[in-house]
Structure 1
Amino acid sequence: MVGAAAFAYVASAAHAQSAGSFYATAGWFHFAPQDSSGPLKETSVGGSPVNIDVQGTGAGISSADTAGFTLGYFATDHIAAEFEMGIPPSFDLEGTGSFSQYGKLGSAKQWSPTLLFKYFFNAPQAKFRPFVGIGVTRTWFTDAKITNSSFEGNVLHGPTSVDTDSSWAPVFNVGAVYNFTEHWFAGFSVSFIPLKATATLNSQAQTPVGTLNVQSKAKITLNPIVTYLRVGYRF
């Protein structure tokens, strides 16, 4: 009887961690950009192209934290597909180089839903299961704006709107889960995302000849390292 009960427990636990099982998690993302940027480039003045680099200038992105959620499915005992999404965190755009005197220049919210494919090591019924993963994310920004009036007036010379591009990027992921019970588990992962973004600034510059639209571009390499601490329930 004891042997039969043990077999039934193992079979049940294996079923919860093997092919055909679904899981959901909630936790905390930390985004740590490994950022760098080129100089601010004025691309047009009054509709005429100029393409002037403003030497010694630059911008960076702050780190950010947010709540995250995932849904996953084990296609086999070792391979799972997972969709990750977080509440869009707000990032600060900070001046570098000669712009560093202005501190925070603006802000934006980032959206980056991610699809991952993970390979889990160890047996399906193991307590500890490390994994490696690879996937893709679609990243875009909303609510991008200049919030520093001194920067807007002294450098951009007038009210400025900000548009940002969207892009696809690969995601490289490693981590592990620890299974407390047949259904409940905790996990930790680290992802690296090689990512670049371009912000387009349209300023209504006040000049001696009147108001002119000045368009500028700022290209920033983000390359964030993203950590995710979570708890989950496996169905």
Structure 2
Amino acid sequence: MNYKIIAAGAMALACAGAAHAQSAGSFILSTGWFHLSPQDQSSPFTLVSRGGTTFNDPIANTGAAVSDADTIGFTGTYFVTDNIAVEGVMGVPPKFYLSGEGQLAAFGELGQVRQWSPTLLLKYYFGQATQRLRPYLGIGVSRVWFSDAQITNQSFISNVAILNGPTTVSVENKWAAVFNGGFTFQITDHWYAGWSLSYMPLKTTATLYTPQSQSLVGKLNSVSKADIKLNPIISYINVGYKF
């Protein structure tokens, strides 16, 4: 008799969980912590032009490395079916620090930039809607743009021949694919915990403008650049609430 009561109780709990699971029409808001780890690689700094003359002259043994970054993230997930969901992802723009490589390594940190990368994902959740633990795979697209880019190292500006004067920097905006995988775990009828890992193949160009670059013939307008592969691996640990 006791076993029947226990079995009936377990069935009731299962049914209660099913009524509040990730099923078609469910909407989940979550927040958590992003860690972005660029798998970066840089081309040499290249003098593009000076005084209106085109050079495209790479400076050997130069480049830039990009730091890791952490930030707060937010997602909104809507289940179109029990297994298919669309998700919007946004985070507080993280700040990345750029440091010199090769013969520029002695300068240390060169500058900094913030990255904006709102993302739209299409995700497939495995298993049944009633399962507490649900792994998923996703694919999507991100619009990546950069703000507050600046060179902060005055020694770098003053002692590198292709600059040698007050310098500003811009970073090219890009579209990027996003490959995503992870899982969610149902804690209560409405609360969830989750973890995911994403990869974003991303290549951009940093362009440096020196309008009064010192040269042997006086001050000239100088433009230089470096191509940077960021290719970040992004981890996200979060808690969410289902409406």
Unaligned stretches of 5+ residues in structure 2:
none
For the aligned residue pairs, the C-alpha RMSD in angstroms reads: 1.5
Given candidates 164, 168, 173, the residue that maps to 1:166 is 173
Q: Percent identity?
A: 53
Q: Whole-Å Cα distance in 1 between the matches of residues 39 and 117 of structure 2? A: 17
Letter aligned with residue 132 of structure 1: L
How far did 1:60 drift? 1.2
What is aligned with 1:152? 157
Deviating beyond 3 angstroms after TM superposition, the runs of 4 or more aligned structure 1 residues are: 1-8
Secondary structure (helix, strand or coil) at the match of 2:164 reads coil
The aligned residue for residue 195 of structure 1 is: 202
* Structure whose alpha-carbon radius of gyration is higher: 2
- 8 Å contact from structure 2 (residues 47, 57) kept in 1: yes
Tell me the residue number matched to 2:61: 56
The SS at the match of 2:36 is: strand
Per the alignment, in what secondary structure is the counterpart of residue 55 of structure 1?
A: coil
Q: Do structure 1's residue 125 and structure 2's residue 133 form an aligned pair?
A: no
Counterpart in the other structure of 2:233: 225
Distance 2:75 2:48 in 1: 41
Q: Which of 21, 25, 39 is the equivalent residue of 1:20?
A: 25
In the alignment, which residue of structure 2 is the partner of 1:185?
192
- Residue 95 (structure 2) aligns with: 90
Unaligned runs of 5+ in 1: none
Aligned pair in 2 of structure 1 residues 154, 27: CA closer, same or farther (>3 Å)? same
Residues 218/117 of structure 1: CA separation in 2 closer, same or farther (3 Å cut): same
1:8 Cα deviation after fit: 5.2
Kindly state the Cα deviation for residue 181 of structure 1 after the two structures are TM-superposed: 1.1
Counterparts in 2 of 1:36-55, with a 5 A limit? Answer: 36-55=41-60
TM-superposed deviation, 1:38: 0.8
Alpha-carbon distance, 1:206 to partner: 1.7
Aligned to 2:183: 176
Given the superposition, is the C-alpha separation of residues 201 and 7 from structure 1 closer, same or farther in structure 2, using an over 3 Å criterion? closer
Q: Deviations over 1:38-66 (max 9, x none)?
A: 11111100111111110110111100000
2:223 to 215, 219, 231: 215
The equivalent position to 2:145 in structure 1, one of 137, 140, 149, is 140
* TM-score (structure 1 length as normaliser): 0.95
Equivalences, count: 233
1:234 equivalent among 227, 236, 242: 242
